[in-house]
Structure 1
């Protein structure tokens, strides 16, 4: 009888552990702020990113290019002969390979890569393009690989009945570097990403994320 009770309790414990299986974070940290090499770009990033807040003291803020239009599907920044447009669209899961963790409870990879936004579940929206135009004519190519793993972009939020945005485009004091900054503020798996352009060329991105439950 005692063995039967022990076995039942063991089964219950295993079941409870299975139900409470945590969501693993497979997203690598190689592109985080802490990994970015010291220099002018890191100093610039520290002035506005959450990841660089510990290094912000004593640094002058960068010039911001204003957001001139934003809604649920896109955001546009214009100023200083620069125009930046970030656009989104529906995510079609049937066109992608989905990899789940723990008996299909949590989605952790899309097309064999960890992803950002709606982490753990199937995303509903994705970034479709990041367009940069300088001097009203020249387009700076932002490769799809720079945003293919980013989902659920948050272009707006409401504060006291006013629609605002956390996102920004910032320019270095010498005008040589441009930073396109976007924040996803969902409660689970939030992330912030900055696309970096130098001398009108895309040179990389910095992305930080965290799971908050």
Structure 2
């Protein structure tokens, strides 16, 4: 019975990862209503302003109502439904092609714009003191790294990590702050994609890392040559 439950969980994760993705609210009214259920007559439980980024959960990429998750630093997380006509999927922007993708390196280049990602094995013994942990039954699980929540390990020892993410635009170099990548583990460079919104001069670096219960999605945003921050989501 336990094996069957694990299989069903993995199957569900596979389905969610196939369609779950980041999107931007684009609404001429300046905001979109979030409804409790997938129905225009359902109760409005919140609003999200245009240009905000949210995470979409969907079993059908063509359905009209999308199950979303939205987190803002100053507000409580919001989960509900919005109409697909009110969002633009990040994947719908122009993709920046990759020139290199392997375990330790990913490079994306278009015109005078280059994104370089360096990753590699994580030296856990050398950083063990930077972790805090919690007890779960008979297990001791890693919880935080340098005070931040750990992403990608499901409480286990990290195998890989990001060393740096650098964006070169003409003569300008933009470095993603170390604090924003140091707690992201078990990197999968093969899943990483870059997209460019030419009308708003915005670059998106999107990745799906780890697997199983440790899976997570990350989005880094660079607008008009300035780093604007990251958004993290659990894709199930």
Fold in common (TM above 0.5): yes
Q: How many residues align?
A: 165
Q: Following the alignment from structure 1 to structure 2, what is the Cα–Cα distance between the partners of residues 181 and 116?
A: 15
Q: Following the alignment from structure 1 to structure 2, what is the Cα–Cα distance between the partners of residues 189 and 73?
A: 20
Q: Following the alignment from structure 1 to structure 2, what is the Cα–Cα distance between the partners of residues 92 and 39?
A: 41
**Contact 1:65 1:80 (8 Å CA) reproduced:** no
Structure 2 unaligned runs (5+)? 1-21, 24-33, 35-45, 67-81
Matches within 5 A, 1:121-136: 121-135=156-170
- What does residue 6 of structure 1 align with? none
- What does residue 151 of structure 1 align with? 185
Structure 1 stretches of 4+ with a deviation exceeding 6 A read 32-36
Q: Following the alignment from structure 1 to structure 2, what is the Cα–Cα distance between the partners of residues 50 and 118?
A: 23
- What does residue 38 of structure 1 align with? 49
Matched, 1:203 2:228: yes
1:37 is displaced (CA, Å) by 5.5
Question: Residues 20-72 of structure 1: CA distance to partner in whole angstroms, max 9, x if unpaired?
Answer: xxxxxxxxxxxx98999522253xxx6xx546982583337211101111001
Which residue among 111, 115, 118 is the counterpart of 1:80? 111
Instruction: Give 3-state SS (helix, strand or coil) of 1:133's partner.
Output: strand
Tell me which of the two structures has the higher relative contact order, counting C-alpha pairs closer than 8 angstroms and 6 or more residues apart: 1
Q: Following the alignment from structure 1 to structure 2, what is the Cα–Cα distance between the partners of residues 67 and 36?
A: 36
Q: Could you say if the C-alpha distance between residues 92 and 209 of structure 1 is closer, same or farther in structure 2, counting changes exceeding 3 Å?
A: same
TM-score, length of structure 2 as denominator length? 0.61
Question: Residues 58-106 of structure 1: CA distance to partner in whole angstroms, max 9, x if unpaired?
Answer: 3372111011110011111001321001111221223242222216522
Which residue among 75, 95, 120 is the counterpart of 2:155? 120
Could you say which structure has the higher strand fraction? 2
Highest CA radius of gyration, 1 or 2? Answer: 1
After superposition, the CA RMSD in angstroms is 2.9
Matched, 1:57 2:91: no
- What does residue 24 of structure 1 align with? none
1:173 is displaced (CA, Å) by 3.5
TM-score, length of structure 1 as denominator length? 0.67
